[in-house]
Chains A and B, each alone.
Chain A
Amino acid sequence: MSQIPPLFQREFLGYFRTPVAYVFLAVFLLASVGLAFFVSQFFKAGNASLEGYFVWHTWLFVFFAPAAGMRLWAEERRSGTLELLFTLPVTPLEAVLAKFLAAWAFLAAGILLSFPLALTAAWLGDPDWGIIAASYCGSILMAGAYLAVCSLMSALTRNQVVGFVLGLFVNLVLVFLGWSVFNGVLAAVFPQAVADLLANFSHTSHFDAFTKGIVDPKDVMFFVSLGGLCLFLNVLALER
């Protein structure tokens, strides 16, 4: 595991070597805070909480996680640097973890950049800091699960765009399964028990509790196991 720090550093700083990082962070901030202000009516809602900000995250990550994760492996395959990387003394597991952690740290930075919003809420009213802390933790944890899916999808192709579309699609399915509208459709087709079971495999159903300040070990376990499974498959996908 001693090879993780230099790989992590290369990958994390790699975002900032191109304009991609700045464009990503600016657009993510605009979109997430914009939705909170203009759709959720952050100021008019009359309560000092960030619920209107976090409620959009399951949807936002559908686009932003693949954007951050699409190049992780596809780009190494395309440019031939995969061969350079795996003739250095590094195991696939170390490489997968280092790259994943770098991308996750990058996404987490994007999420934490909204912190001035929390300060605004504190200035305007008296928010529940427990709920805000749980929401940030839940959001970052969930971002990790989205990203692990995208890292796996990126490892399956040498084309970043294909990686992006695959990551978006799989995460979208994982959101839809728990979305009340779609779940209603499912319940009409399948028995209620089946619909409920499917809803369990969704980002949405496991994130809601966090935004209410409840950290349920079952929800934590869902994101951790989804992420772990994807990263395990990611290692297998790099078998040569």
Chain B
Amino acid sequence: MIEVKGLVKNYGSTRAVDGVSFTVRRGEILGFLGPNGAGKSTTMKLITGYLRPDAGTAVVNGHDVTRDSLAVRRNLGYLAESAPAYPEMTVGEFLDFIAAMRGYRTPAAKAERIGHVVGLCHLQAVLGQTIETLSKGYKQRVGFAQALLHDPPVLVLDEPTDGLDPNQKNEVRAIIRQLAAAKAVILSTHILEEVDAICNRVIIISRGRVVVDETPEALHARQPGARLDEIFRTLTRGDL
């Protein structure tokens, strides 16, 4: 469902993403790991069509992002790092806006979709509250609701559990797991336990390149008995 082919992105003279390739199929939850600055967010922005690649491309649900980025965006839900949203809008107003932008224009169609994601992300209690007054956990869930509103076949989530407390982390993971069967999901993280918690595939990138692409079990098998962070450290030593 997601096919990433040789993506390259330069910021001035620094190469943030250097020939990244992988595929994600339906039902897979791909954990995108790497130290800070490895190029995770940039790769995700390239897949969503927000940034234009300098080389390579990504194909999402059959649509090539360099040729038809609008079609890619219709097939994709994206939660950006730190879940940006318009702070002065209430949660209800914000979701109503997203629904309209996603093509739900009649009150009934909007209400149906908004009701669905509000239930899924447990937002009933804060619908009338402005986003700037929300706690970090609720803000993240609003970002989730926004990404899920049009029930996209592909989800791209940039550090979805970052900054949440352990209970909130578990809740977010439960939502992702619940959705994943019918979707292709990429989620980036630098929390290694997350891989064991929800992912069924792992990619580790380091300095813009893929250094590992395998199952969590295979990753553990590399150094039997070693903790995941030790394996991670060995693989990404080049970044230090």
State how many angstroms separate the Cβ of A85 from the closest Cβ of chain B: 9
Q: How large is the interface on B (under 10, 10 to 19, 20 to 34, 35 or more residues)?
A: 20 to 34
Task: Convert A201-237 into 0s and 1s, putting 1 for each residue whose CB lies closer than 8 angstroms to a CB of B.
Answer: 0000000000000000000000000000000000000
Other than the given A5-B100, A83-B84, 14 more pairs (CB < 8 A) read: A6-B97, A9-B97, A10-B86, A14-B86, A17-B88, A81-B86, A84-B84, A86-B49, A87-B49, A87-B76, A87-B78, A89-B101, A91-B70, A239-B52
Residues of B4-54 at the interface with A, using a CB-CB cut-off of 8 Å, are 45, 48-52
Interface of A is mostly: loop
Nearest residue in A to B45 (C-beta to C-beta)?
A83
A-B contact pairs, 24 of them (CB 8 A): A3-B101, A6-B97, A10-B89, A14-B86, A14-B88, A14-B89, A17-B89, A79-B84, A79-B87, A80-B82, A81-B85, A83-B50, A83-B80, A84-B80, A84-B84, A86-B49, A87-B49, A87-B78, A88-B98, A89-B74, A89-B102, A239-B52, A240-B50, A240-B51
Q: Is B188 engaged at the interface, CB distance under 8 Å to the other chain?
A: no
**Cross-chain contact of A10 among B84, B97, B103 (Cβ < 8 A):** B97
Q: Which residues of B contact A17 (CB under 8 A)?
A: 88-89
Nearest residue in B to A80 (C-beta to C-beta)?
B84
Nearest residue in B to A16 (C-beta to C-beta)?
B88
State how many angstroms separate the Cβ of B13 from the closest Cβ of chain A: 18
Task: Convert B59-99 into 0s and 1s, putting 1 for each residue whose CB lies closer than 8 angstroms to a CB of A.
Answer: 00000000000100110101010101111110000000110
Residue numbers of B with Cβ under 8 A of A are: 45, 48-52, 70, 73-74, 76, 78, 80, 82, 84-89, 97-98, 100-103, 146
The CA-CA distance from A132 to B100 in the complex, in Å, is 39
A87-B50 contact, Cβ under 8 Å, with A80-B82, A80-B84, A81-B84: yes
The CA-CA distance from A10 to B97 in the complex, in Å, is 7
A6-B100 contact, Cβ under 8 Å, with A80-B80, A83-B45, A87-B80: yes
**Cross-chain contact of A90 among B80, B85, B88, B101 (Cβ < 8 A):** B101
Q: Which residues of B contact A91 (CB under 8 A)?
A: 70
The residue in A5, A17, A239 that gathers the most chain B C-beta atoms within 10 A of its C-beta is A17
Q: How large is the interface on A (under 10, 10 to 19, 20 to 34, 35 or more residues)?
A: 20 to 34
A84-B52 contact, Cβ under 8 Å, with A6-B97, A6-B101, A17-B89: no
Residue numbers of A with Cβ under 8 A of B are: 3, 5-7, 9-10, 14, 17-18, 79-81, 83-84, 86-91, 239-240
The 5 closest A-B pairs by CB, nearest first: A80-B84, A6-B100, A17-B88, A87-B78, A89-B73
Q: Which residues of B contact A90 (CB under 8 A)?
A: 101
State how many angstroms separate the Cβ of A10 from the closest Cβ of chain B: 5
State how many angstroms separate the Cβ of A83 from the closest Cβ of chain B: 5
State how many angstroms separate the Cβ of A2 from the closest Cβ of chain B: 8
Nearest residue in A to B70 (C-beta to C-beta)?
A89
* CB <8 Å contact, A87 and B97: no
Q: Which residues of B contact A84 (CB under 8 A)?
A: 80, 84-85, 146
The CA-CA distance from A86 to B78 in the complex, in Å, is 11
Nearest residue in B to A5 (C-beta to C-beta)?
B100
* CB <8 Å contact, A7 and B101: yes
The CA-CA distance from A3 to B100 in the complex, in Å, is 8
* CB <8 Å contact, A240 and B84: no
Q: Which residues of A contact B101 (CB under 8 A)?
A: 3, 6-7, 88-90
